[in-house]
Structure 1
Amino acid sequence: MMKQLVSAVFCMVFFAAPQALAMPFHAGEKLSYEIYWTVVHAGSATLEVLPEKDVAGKPALGFLAEARSTPFVDAFYKVRDRIESWTDPDVERSYLYLKRQREGDYSKDVELRFEPDARRTLRYVRGELRRTLEQPEYVFDPLAILFAFRKQTLYKTMRFSGPVTDGKVSVSGEAYVEGMDTLDTPLGEVPCFRVRLDVKHLSGVFRKSDDAELLVWFSADERRLPVRVKSKVVVGHFTMELVGYDPGRETCAAQVP
């Protein structure tokens, strides 16, 4: 269950065309979350923006997502997952995606290399090339798409669609801005846009749930912080709540809630 939640949170498959907007995040930004299954505190997660470095000879901006189960959950299903993503500095396409899964007795290491000039991706599992896929010139990995979305100006009734890939399949994800809510969070009251994600391309427990749904609330300011994630699946309700925020090197016009 933790596996499906982590996958859903970091595989938000939607994309809008890039706009000439100020970046809402900077190197050093860190978001901290607590994860709940119904009322059980199941784990914690972090999202970070990494300093720029060269990837395959090109300047790149990095993102890091990590998730771990609580000591209580460790006793029967220990989770230690890490996802690293590298894009161009303007976050308009992915260059490299690294996933390290440690979930119970299951372990897997994936490297996804993007070759925009050749319009393809190369997926390696445990160091072996497993799949080559043709891709459009602009395509994102499951983590980078979240930060690409944060560049967009949100408003009620907006719809989004676009290409995202994990190297096994490429899909056109869709999302819809349903409305606005003010959330009571550990950081105070935060006005947010409520975004509903299309789950038809998500695997695992989402595919097994006839009435599955996935909602994400983004702060209604220049940062578009993912404040809350909530899913409904056959095995219950999962929630991921923002509990800590460090803006990093620079800050947007808006202040910390």
Structure 2
Amino acid sequence: MRVFALVLGVVSVAAFPEPLCSEETKAHRVAVSTSAAKPHRQPILGERLGFHGWWFGIPIGRGWIEVKEIVEVEGRTAYHIEAQGHSNDVLSTFYPIHDEVHSYLDIETLQPLRFEKYQREGHYRADEVVTFNPARGTATYRSLLNGSVKEIPLPPAFQDLVSALYWFRAQPLHPDQTITLDLYTDEKIYQTQVFVKRPILLELLKRGTFPCFTIEPKASFKGLLVKRGRLWAYLTADERRIPLLVKTTTPWGPMSAVIDEDSLRAVGRAVGKR
């Protein structure tokens, strides 16, 4: 799920001491007001955020995440969130990526009720469905490829890879704050701390300059730090908390995902300034 690690802001691999800047982006570490607008409590129906993926400044693919509809899941009203990531023709010649994820968020609690993953990365395949039952404190994992079924114990509060983004965007953010959440992925629960840094001005080429919070997640499993690298995500400091940029590193070098111009036009120019 490396494409989604960029788009969704979850912990990726390797390590790097500081966020990278490229011809596409510049981070200005200047004084920015530390006050932030109160965030939207609920996901915005129809919101679609698209991103371009880069590796060493070379375009490698695209991805998007969308609040598609409101549906019924297990007798509960839920937001249906869809995320996709696809490699471009260049990367696909030697490592094709076609990933699709669906998450269904309880409209009241913003906790996931169901998670679906359809993953195609190189020769790797994964098709799985996870049904969450918070009342019982269990998740039921089903592989659609080999038919295996597994029950996983759940903590009282948790998120999946997709729901975590919308839950986090709904939280009040303050500089030097640490937010803790339990994150479900790959049949495990990771205790994750998200560090909120002081706002900066982020300049995106042809898109504008934006006051942004910088956030950095760090995960642990059963109390042991998962040393899979560092990742930085930049969210606008207004009420929408739009994720503009994610940067990380991999064994193959630094990677980034930057929001596309169409998505910024759709959410409105007010998040930035020309």
Alignment TM-score, normalising by the size of structure 1: 0.84
Return 5+ residue gaps in structure 1 as ranges.
14-19
Q: List aligned pairs for 1:118-197, cutoff 5 A.
A: 118-126=136-144, 128-166=147-185, 168-185=187-204, 186-197=206-217
Q: List aligned pairs for 1:47-58, cutoff 5 A.
A: 47-58=65-76
| 1:63 and 1:86 in contact (8 A); partners too | yes
| 2:139 and 2:152 in contact (8 A); partners too | yes
The CA deviation at 1:184 is 1.4
One-letter code aligned to 2:2: Q
Match of 2:47 in 1: 29
Q: List aligned pairs for 1:227-246, cutoff 5 A.
A: 227-243=244-260, 244-245=262-263
Q: Distance in 2 between matches of 1:65 and 1:170?
A: 21
Match of 2:22 in 1: none
Q: Deviations over 1:196-244 (max 9, x none)?
A: 111556xxxx85x6xx210001001000011110013332111110113
Alignment TM-score, normalising by the size of structure 2: 0.79
One-letter code aligned to 1:79: I
Match of 2:23 in 1: none
Counterpart check, 1:10 vs 2:28: no
Q: Distance in 2 between matches of 1:221 and 1:246?
A: 14
Match of 1:255 in 2: 270
SS where residue 245 of structure 1 aligns?
helix
| 2:190 and 2:220 in contact (8 A); partners too | no
| 2:176 and 2:198 in contact (8 A); partners too | yes
Counterpart check, 1:224 vs 2:244: no
The CA deviation at 1:41 is 0.7
Q: Deviations over 1:67-87 (max 9, x none)?
A: 001111111111111011001
The CA deviation at 1:142 is 1.2
The CA deviation at 1:8 is 5.1
**Is the alpha carbon distance of 1:246 and 1:227 closer, same or farther for their aligned partners in structure 2, counting shifts above 3 Å?**
closer
Moved over 4 A (4+): none
Q: Deviations over 1:79-119 (max 9, x none)?
A: 11101100111353110000000112222101010011111
The CA deviation at 1:46 is 0.4
SS where residue 91 of structure 2 aligns?
helix
SS where residue 255 of structure 1 aligns?
helix
Q: List aligned pairs for 1:71-90, cutoff 5 A.
A: 71-90=89-108
| 1:133 and 1:167 in contact (8 A); partners too | no
One-letter code aligned to 2:179: F
Q: Distance in 2 between matches of 1:241 and 1:9?
A: 8
**Is the alpha carbon distance of 1:195 and 1:182 closer, same or farther for their aligned partners in structure 2, counting shifts above 3 Å?**
same
| 1:12 and 1:146 in contact (8 A); partners too | no
Return 5+ residue gaps in structure 2 as ranges.
12-37
| 1:181 and 1:191 in contact (8 A); partners too | yes
The RMSD of aligned alpha carbons is 2.4
Match of 1:115 in 2: 133
The CA deviation at 1:34 is 0.5
Aligned residues between the structures:
239
Given the alignment, which residue of 54, 75, 79 partners 1:61? 79
| 2:6 and 2:256 in contact (8 A); partners too | no
Q: Distance in 2 between matches of 1:224 and 1:21?
A: 7
**Is the alpha carbon distance of 1:112 and 1:241 closer, same or farther for their aligned partners in structure 2, counting shifts above 3 Å?**
same
The CA deviation at 1:131 is 1.7
| 1:12 and 1:143 in contact (8 A); partners too | no
One-letter code aligned to 2:137: R
| 2:9 and 2:232 in contact (8 A); partners too | no
Q: Distance in 2 between matches of 1:194 and 1:256?
A: 16
**Is the alpha carbon distance of 1:96 and 1:79 closer, same or farther for their aligned partners in structure 2, counting shifts above 3 Å?**
same
